[in-house]
């Protein structure tokens, strides 16, 4: 027997909006972008001291491996930064409100799984959330999860390589922009590059940008720093080697990850962690129209992660044009969260 359906009696979830997504990073499908990416990779690999930009860590597998790294005992930055946000989120919100910033457009640079922003969204109550990342498919899934958690929030995901420029699409609201750059990712830039990047964010051309909320890893003992980038389980090593698989996909090269070992060290003079891939034997890597011979022990430099002091970062932010600067640290002063107002 068919019974009449009582819609009001059903406990159905309300439909949620889908986030907008704008893909400005298409090296695998856009011919011009692919050519530029291949040239960048070839230039780095054929340089006297071979290097590959750390942005090429973040294909879909690389993003998942980095997510695993953040849960390792040795990798203190993620949990330490999270602890600062947990302890200071009300103070951070009050600081922005005191500056007249209410319901900003929150632009999350290198958003990854968006987990860090999700802890701040209830406190900052942005009118628009803009996660930006080079790992496009990973970001799509993450943006969907944010939308599920905050169904009324206007979300515009942007797939782009913001290290090459920060020209955001028109769908991103121009007013009350607060840039969010957690995870000490600024440390991947050489200090001179970091200064230019910060100047770009502070530039009036960014619309009504109000400031930058940023996490920075601080200088500490060498053993702790090196362990964070060379864990006992080898997850960071797998993350580093996966870069070679991504290069194979983008360049058409024939790297064999079994021929390379992960190296991480703290360069005290430069105040930076360095990650390298070291050839375990003499070998040749080929890609269309080119080849590069590597001697046993020769390295490809894959990442720098500069570590700062509070005074050093404050000076850099002021040099970039930020005027009002505040910061919060953990009890051990391993990490700091900075608010820098334009």
pLDDT at 308: 98
pLDDT at 166: 85
Flag whether pLDDT at 2 surpasses 80: no
Integer Cα distance of 118 and 4 in angstroms: 42
Residue 108's DSSP bridge partners are 131, 180
Q: Which domains does the chain have, with CATH numbers?
A: 58-220+307-341 (3.40.50.150), 236-306 (no CATH)
pLDDT in tens, 93-123: 999 999 999 999 999 999 999 999 999 999 9
DSSP annotation of 7? G
pLDDT at 34: 76
pLDDT at 203: 83
**pLDDT, mean over the chain:** 91
What mean pLDDT comes out for the span 212-228? 98
pLDDT at 9: 38
pLDDT at 26: 67
Count H helices and E strands in the chain, helices first.
Answer: 9, 13
Flag whether pLDDT at 208 surpasses 80: no
Residue 134 and residue 161 in contact, taking contact as beta carbons nearer than 8 Å:
yes
DSSP annotation of 56? G
* Nearest by Cα to 196 from 319, 338, 57, 323: 319
pLDDT at 16: 53
Q: How far is CA 85 from CA 78, 119, 121, 213, 228, in A?
A: 11, 8, 12, 11, 21
Relative to beta strand 128-133, strand 154-159 is: parallel
Integer Cα distance of 237 and 217 in angstroms: 21
pLDDT at 25: 78
Output the DSSP codes for 200-231: HHHSGGGSSEEEEEEEEEBP--HHHHHHHTS-
pLDDT in tens, 10-61: 333 444 578 999 998 766 556 666 788 999 999 999 999 999 999 999 999 9
Predicted TM-score of the model (pTM): 0.88
What mean pLDDT comes out for the span 226-247? 98
pLDDT at 175: 83
The phi and psi torsions of 280 (rounded to 5 degrees) equal -85, -5
What mean pLDDT comes out for the span 140-166? 93
Integer Cα distance of 42 and 247 in angstroms: 10
pLDDT at 28: 55
Q: CB neighbours (10 Å) of residue 39?
A: 11
pLDDT in tens, 280-325: 999 999 999 999 999 999 999 999 999 999 999 999 999 999 999 9
Residue 124 and residue 93 in contact, taking contact as beta carbons nearer than 8 Å:
yes
Flag whether pLDDT at 144 surpasses 80: yes
């Amino acid at each position: 027997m068919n019974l009449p359906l009582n819609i009001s009696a059903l406990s159905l979830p309300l439909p949620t909006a889908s986030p907008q997504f704008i893909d400005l990073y298409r090296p695998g499908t856009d011919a011009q972008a692919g050519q530029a990416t291949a040239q960048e990779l070839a230039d780095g690999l054929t340089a006297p001291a071979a290097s590959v930009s750390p942005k090429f860590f973040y294909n879909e597998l690389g993003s998942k491996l980095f997510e695993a790294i953040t849960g390792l005992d040795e990798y203190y930055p993620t949990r330490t930064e999270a602890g600062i946000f947990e302890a200071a989120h009300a103070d951070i919100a009050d600081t922005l409100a005191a500056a007249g910033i209410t319901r900003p457009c929150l632009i999350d640079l290198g958003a990854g799984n968006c987990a860090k922003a999700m802890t701040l969204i209830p406190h900052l109550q942005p009118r628009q959330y803009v996660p930006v990342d080079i790992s496009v498919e990973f970001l799509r899934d993450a943006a969907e999860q944010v939308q599920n958690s905050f169904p009324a929030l206007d979300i515009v995901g942007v797939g782009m390589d913001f290290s090459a420029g920060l020209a955001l699409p028109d769908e991103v609201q121009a007013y009350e922009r607060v840039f969010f750059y957690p995870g000490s990712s600024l440390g991947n830039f050489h200090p001179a590059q970091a200064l230019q990047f910060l100047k770009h964010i502070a530039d009036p051309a960014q619309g009504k940008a109000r400031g930058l909320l940023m996490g920075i890893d601080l200088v500490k003992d060498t053993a702790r720093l090196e362990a964070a980038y060379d864990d006992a389980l080898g997850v960071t090593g797998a993350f580093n080697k996966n870069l070679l698989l991504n290069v194979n996909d983008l360049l058409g090269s024939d790297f064999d990850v079994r021929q390379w070992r992960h190296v991480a060290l703290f360069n005290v003079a430069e105040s930076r962690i360095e990650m390298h891939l070291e050839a375990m034997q003499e070998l040749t890597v080929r890609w269309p129209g080119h080849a590069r011979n590597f001697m046993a022990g020769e390295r490809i430099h894959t990442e720098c992660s500069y570590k700062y002091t509070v005074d050093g970062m404050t000076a850099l932010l002021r040099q970039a044009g930020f005027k009002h600067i505040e910061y919060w640290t953990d009890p051990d002063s391993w990490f700091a969260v900075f608010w820098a107002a334009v």
